[in-house]
Amino acid sequence: MNGYQLTFFTQQDRRHSHQPLAEWLMALVQSMQIRGATLRTAQEGIDSHHKLHSAHFFELTDQPVEVTMVVSEEESARLFERLNAEPGLHLFYAKSAVELGTIGESQQP
């Protein structure tokens, strides 16, 4: 099957709807029944304005965060329709075409 890998980039201190933006996005993905997403934190990152963001020993609010998922074309369309309708949302992303599938049998009941 063909689809997309979507990666959304933000920082630990960015908020939307009174919660951390990455957590809001994870909850949205779950509520839309998208198959899966991974939230990763990074040690350092450089934003579009060439500013360095990093996790410091005493302060993690500037820590870069990524939310990545692999979705079908239909899931991608639904997700972007929902994100574009969200007032006040500002979120950078990368979208790449991928082939997706599963090998072997599911081990979950």
Q: State the pLDDT at residue 53.
A: 59
Look up the CATH number of the domain holding residue 23: 3.30.70.120
Question: For the chain, what is the mean pLDDT?
Answer: 87
106 inside domain: no
* 99 DSSP 8-state letter: E
Domain that holds residue 26: 2-98
- In which region does residue 86 sit, left (phi positive, over 0), alpha (psi from -120 to 50) or beta (all else)? beta
Q: What is residue 84's three-state secondary structure?
A: helix
The answer to whether position 103 is within a domain reads no
Asked, for residue 104, whether it belongs to a domain, the answer is no
Answer whether residue 105 is part of any domain.
no
Residue 29 in any domain: the answer is yes
Is 108 within the bounds of a domain? no
Instruction: Output the six-digit token pair for 1.
Output: 């099957």
Q: How many Cβ atoms sit within 10 Å of the Cβ of residue 99? A: 8
Across the range 40-52, mean pLDDT stands at: 71
Whether the Cβ atoms of residue 6 and residue 100 lie closer than 8 Å to each other:
no
More confident residue, 28 or 63: 28
Percent of the chain at pLDDT above 90? 61
103 pLDDT above the threshold of 80:
yes
- The pLDDT of residue 107 is above 80: no
Domain count of the chain? 1
